[in-house]
């Protein structure tokens, strides 16, 4: 879908039009004079009106009665009606409202059709959104973030038959080459030299070797001298290992277990395309988790990158094993703060469902406040959970420094406390298990991968 700015709404009778109206007067730009009085008459009573004629669609949103998220959702409704039309003209006076509409509309147009034989027949016909009220630069900046979100969706929707750990690294390299990002991919021999025992242990049951991808954006005009380090869980497929998952609504969805990696890689893509003046590094440990070959087993003791020993009591608690190595590795950058994202625990889903992510950490409160503010603005919301040291006690092992699961209660927090052990710098953990992948369609977020967190983090960096 193309998005372009137009200076004047030269509306013809055949044009499809949506007006973000703040008053009755704004409706007079409609292409059909006969319906204008009717739309104006109902304006104060109705948030949303539409008229379908043989020639065109006309939509009016009373934005005095809508917040940004309501506008995004109405944009999705409108997209479903016009997806087989050629174009639509969007008119509005408030830039933030226009951006919210574009977000909802553009994200609603996402389709993952790669594996359909008749994908040409299934593809939406909609081609162009014309916008009155935003500059070309404003549209391009927004579109870069939305395209990054869609790339994250693509990565998560890809099955492991294509997107294994090696291919994930290749996809990041291809994108980085276009963006001007610096990327280095470490392969199994490099990972063994570093002694990343967590990543290597999870990989032991796989036929495909692991990768560890380092992405760096360091512009000359960066506002921060110390980088912010992002860490994304890249478990490209999770069977649970020897602690095997059940299939329905569990293992069958586990191509999505690298949504944290996709979120961080796509955030770097958006930052680089829009040339944000921030110094950011992203670390992506990647592997699948299978019960084959010489798979790591419950009862094993693993020596991690930083020398910590971990007793494995459940091989399905694998995400924290690979994240721990990456978080410890982040110390070499002496970062301002470390932020990880992961589809880490079912406990997070049980706690707050799919409407938000859980956030916790020991970093100065200002960082979590900024994440919450960005979450509210983008509607990729985060809910802060307590992070008290009492939960550290649950992670102590009788035979090693730590064990990889707690008692079963507050599992999202004990997982966070496990990871905190490996962070030598201020640390924030985001559990995106709920909103990262949806089993049924949900407005502009669709079904399957949502690309959750890209708009959240981009806004966070934009406002640092």
Domain coverage including residue 93: 2-133
Same domain, 112 and 190: no
User: Is 412 part of a structural domain of the chain?
Assistant: yes
- DSSP 3-state assignment of 18? strand
Per-residue pLDDT, 181: 97
Same domain, 300 and 428: yes
Which active-site residues does the annotation give? 245, 320
User: Is 138 part of a structural domain of the chain?
Assistant: no
Q: Transcribe 160-177 into DSSP letters.
A: TTT--HHHHHHHHHHHHH
- Which structure tokens are listed for 430? 């985001």
Residue 6 DSSP symbol: -
CB–CB of 30/58 below 8 Å?
yes
* Last residue within a domain, chosen from 133, 151, 169: 133
Same domain, 173 and 34: no
Same domain, 122 and 152: no
Same domain, 441 and 348: yes
CATH classification of the domain holding 248: 3.40.630.10
Same domain, 162 and 14: no
User: Is 196 part of a structural domain of the chain?
Assistant: yes
287-308 residues labelled b (16+ CB within 10 A) or e (exposed): bbbbbeeebbebebebbbbbeb
Using CA of residue 402, residue 348, residue 283, residue 457, what is the dihedral sign?
Answer: negative
Same domain, 70 and 204: no
Q: What is the mean pLDDT of each run of 10 residues along the chain (464 residues)?
A: 88 88 89 86 94 92 96 98 96 97 98 97 96 97 98 98 98 95 98 98 98 98 97 98 93 97 98 98 98 96 98 98 98 98 97 97 98 98 98 96 95 98 98 98 98 98 95
User: Is 369 part of a structural domain of the chain?
Assistant: yes
Domain count, the chain: 2
**Interacting residues of 250 by C-beta distance below 8 A, sequence separation 6+:** none
Strands, E assignment, 134-248: 182-186, 211-217, 228-232, 234-238
Same domain, 207 and 71: no
User: Is 96 part of a structural domain of the chain?
Assistant: yes
Strands, E assignment, 218-299: 228-232, 234-238, 280-289
* Last residue within a domain, chosen from 133, 163, 184: 133
CATH classification of the domain holding 62: 3.40.220.10
Same domain, 128 and 149: no
Same domain, 59 and 85: yes
User: Is 45 part of a structural domain of the chain?
Assistant: yes
CB–CB of 213/185 below 8 Å?
yes
pTM of the model: 0.97
What is the rounded distance in angstroms from the CA atom of residue 199 to the CA atom of residue 326? 9
Same domain, 315 and 286: yes
Same domain, 447 and 404: yes
What is the rounded distance in angstroms from the CA atom of residue 137 to the CA atom of residue 142? 9
Per-residue pLDDT, 247: 87
* Last residue within a domain, chosen from 133, 157, 182: 133
Per-residue pLDDT, 31: 78
User: Is 439 part of a structural domain of the chain?
Assistant: yes
User: Is 431 part of a structural domain of the chain?
Assistant: yes
């Amino acid at each position: 879908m193309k998005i372009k700015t137009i200076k004047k709404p030269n509306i013809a009778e055949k044009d499809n039009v949506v007006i973000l109206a703040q008053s009755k007067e704004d409706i007079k730009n409609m292409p059909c004079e006969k319906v204008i009085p009717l739309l104006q008459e109902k304006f104060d009573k109705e948030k949303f009106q539409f008229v379908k004629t043989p020639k065109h669609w006309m939509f009016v949103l009373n934005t005095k009665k809508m917040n940004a998220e309501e506008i995004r959702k109405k944009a999705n409704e409108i997209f479903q009606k016009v997806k087989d039309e050629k174009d639509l003209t969007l008119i509005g006076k408030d830039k933030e409202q226009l951006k919210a509409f574009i977000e909802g509309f553009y994200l609603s147009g996402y389709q993952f059709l790669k594996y359909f034989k008749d994908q040409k027949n299934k593809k939406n016909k909609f081609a162009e959104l014309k916008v009155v009220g935003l500059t070309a630069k404003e549209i391009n900046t927004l579109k870069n973030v939305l395209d990054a979100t869609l790339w994250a969706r693509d990565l998560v929707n890809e099955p492991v038959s294509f997107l294994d750990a090696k291919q994930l690294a290749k996809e990041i390299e291809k994108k980085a080459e276009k963006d001007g990002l610096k990327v280095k991919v470490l392969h199994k021999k490099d990972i063994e030299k570093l002694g990343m025992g967590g990543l290597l242990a999870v990989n032991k049951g796989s036929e495909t070797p692991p990768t560890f991808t380092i992405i760096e954006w360091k512009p000359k005009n960066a506002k921060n001298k110390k980088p912010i380090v992002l860490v994304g869980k890249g478990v490209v497929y999770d069977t649970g290992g020897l602690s095997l998952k059940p299939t329905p609504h569990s293992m069958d969805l586990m191509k999505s277990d690298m949504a944290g990696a996709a979120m961080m890689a796509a955030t770097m893509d958006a930052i680089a395309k829009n040339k944000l003046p921030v110094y950011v590094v992203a670390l992506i440990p990647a592997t699948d988790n299978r019960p084959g070959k010489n798979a790591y087993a419950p009862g094993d003791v693993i020596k991690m990158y930083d020398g910590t020993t971990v007793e494995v009591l459940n091989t399905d608690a694998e995400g924290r094993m690979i994240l721990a190595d990456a978080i410890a590795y982040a110390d070499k950058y002496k970062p301002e703060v470390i932020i990880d994202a992961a589809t880490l625990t079912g406990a997070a889903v049980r706690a707050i469902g799919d409407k938000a992510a859980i956030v916790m950490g020991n970093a100065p409160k200002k960082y979590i406040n900024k994440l919450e503010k960005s979450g509210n603005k983008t509607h990729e919301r985060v809910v802060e959970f307590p992070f008290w040291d009492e939960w550290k006690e649950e992670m102590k092992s009788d035979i090693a420094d730590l064990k990889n699961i707690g008692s079963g209660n507050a599992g999202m927090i004990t997982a966070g406390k496990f990871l905190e052990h490996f962070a030598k710098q201020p640390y924030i953990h985001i559990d995106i298990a709920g909103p990262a992948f949806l089993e049924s369609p949900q407005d502009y977020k669709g079904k399957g991968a949502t690309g959750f967190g890209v708009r959240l983090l981009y806004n966070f960096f934009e406002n640092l």
